Amino acid sequence: MKHKGGNHQVLMAAVTLVGTTIGVGIFGIPYAISQVGIGLALVYFLVLGGIQLLQSLFYAEAVMASSEELRLVGLAGKFFGRHVRSVAAVVSILGFWGGLIAYILVGGVFLHLLLSPWLGGALLHYQIFWGLVGAVVVYFGLGFIEKVDFWFTVALVMALLVIVSVAGARIEPANLVALVPSGDLFLPYGVILFSLSGMSAIPEMKDFMEGRKRGFRKAIVVGMLVAIFLTLLFGLVVYGVTGPGTTKDALDGLNLVLGGGVARFGAMFGFLAVATSYFMIGLTLRSTFEYDYRLRRTLAWFLAVMVPLAIVILGVDDFISIISFTGAVFGGVTAVIIAMLYVTVTKRGLLKSRRLGVSRIWAYISIVVLLLGAGYETLTTLLRW
């Protein structure tokens, strides 16, 4: 689809990134802050927000350096060979499936909260219904997703700001000055990394920008900074209201303090957040199967969206654990491969004009941080078993 005007292209691409980044993970942010206090939470956001911004820019460089329509798996195979391609395939596909499972679970919870007072029905029925509707949207591809995703994202940001405004009037200052950690010091790592991950939107943003490298990077920076700011703002305000009573999904705690009306409005906001991310991630996974594995479009679509739905139907329902592990391990290893792609692209000088210009040392630093985080999360998960 062609767009007129460079600013319009940048806006559409940035909105796509914001909509993909702000997803179900945002509802775990207040609880993560409650575990470590405001001070350490801000450090987490500064470090992980910077890493995710760099990874998005690194991924864009790799995408622009390839003349083929390749996603992460195909890029890894092109630049590193079949062994790294296999690793990328496993972590990318499992990570996407993990995210889609979480979005189906939580999207169904929000729909159940909104509609069950009038329609009745079990939670699982709403999760299956939402999974099927989301699958249909993903099937129709980028043009259809662009139309609904833009307005969903606008509504999402407006709803988020309304919640922040209403809840902001009930903030307890004592909660915001509680700097001493009181829980799991590592818990925010996976939650924040997951909540700030919008890299699946990068290849689709390239289609919007139609070869404009400078505008492409500008859209990434603007989109990521807006997403980071809104995510942090939501977390701080909700934690400021609920304090020690902050719940894992944020809405239950708000319901106790502000009443059911805010919780229902929050559920509407939550569904918008889930929907925008589900659409773009589902499309990216479908494209991975279609372009990187040369599967027919229908089969690629089926594997992308029906496998997660089938897993939900079979009884998997612990979305918090899925998000934590997906963000720290699958997301972390994926980001490491992206940083390696950036190092390779810059060493080979594949982008001779208008290069990003970020020193490779930042890629190496992010690789070390991400590998340590993934290793620690894997170890603690195994020990919990």
Task: Write the DSSP string, 313-368.
Answer: HTT---HHHHHHHIIIIIHHHHHHHHHHHHHHHHHHT---SS-----HHHHHHHHH
Residue 333 is predicted with a pLDDT of 94
Provide the H-helix boundaries in the chain: 6-21, 29-65, 72-80, 82-119, 123-139, 141-168, 173-176, 187-195, 202-209, 213-242, 251-258, 260-287, 297-313, 319-325, 331-348, 360-384
* Positive/negative CA dihedral, 350, 13, 305, 335: positive
Are 188 and 30 within 8 A, CB to CB? no
Residue 136 is predicted with a pLDDT of 92
Residue 19 is predicted with a pLDDT of 82
- pLDDT tens track of the chain, all 385 residues? 444 456 778 888 888 898 888 888 888 899 899 888 898 999 999 999 999 999 999 999 998 888 787 888 889 999 999 899 999 999 989 998 999 998 999 899 889 888 888 898 898 999 999 999 999 989 887 666 666 666 777 777 787 888 888 888 888 888 887 666 667 888 899 999 999 998 888 887 887 776 677 788 899 999 999 999 999 999 999 999 988 888 877 777 777 777 667 777 778 877 877 887 788 789 888 988 888 788 999 999 999 999 999 999 998 887 777 888 899 999 999 999 999 999 999 988 877 666 677 889 999 999 999 999 999 999 988 887 6
Nearest by Cα to 384 from 335, 308, 324, 315: 324
Residue 153 is predicted with a pLDDT of 72
Residue 41 is predicted with a pLDDT of 93
The DSSP output letter for 282 is H
First to last CA, the chain: 49
* Positive/negative CA dihedral, 160, 255, 105, 380: positive
Separation of alpha carbons 60 and 203, rounded Å: 7
Structure-token pair, residue 244: 């020690």
Are 3 and 146 within 8 A, CB to CB? no
Please count the CA atoms within 13 angstroms of the CA of 173 that sit on its side-chain side: 0
Residue 352 is predicted with a pLDDT of 65
Helix (H) or strand (E) holding 87: helix 82-119
Please return the burial class of 385, using the count of CB atoms within 10 Å of its CB with bins 0-12, 13-18 and 19+: exposed
Separation of alpha carbons 55 and 270, rounded Å: 26
Please count the CA atoms within 13 angstroms of the CA of 140 that sit on its side-chain side: 11
Structure-token pair, residue 270: 């939550």
Separation of alpha carbons 276 and 274, rounded Å: 6
Residue 376 is predicted with a pLDDT of 93
CATH hierarchy code of domain 6-384:
1.20.1740.10
Residue 2 is predicted with a pLDDT of 44
pTM: 0.84
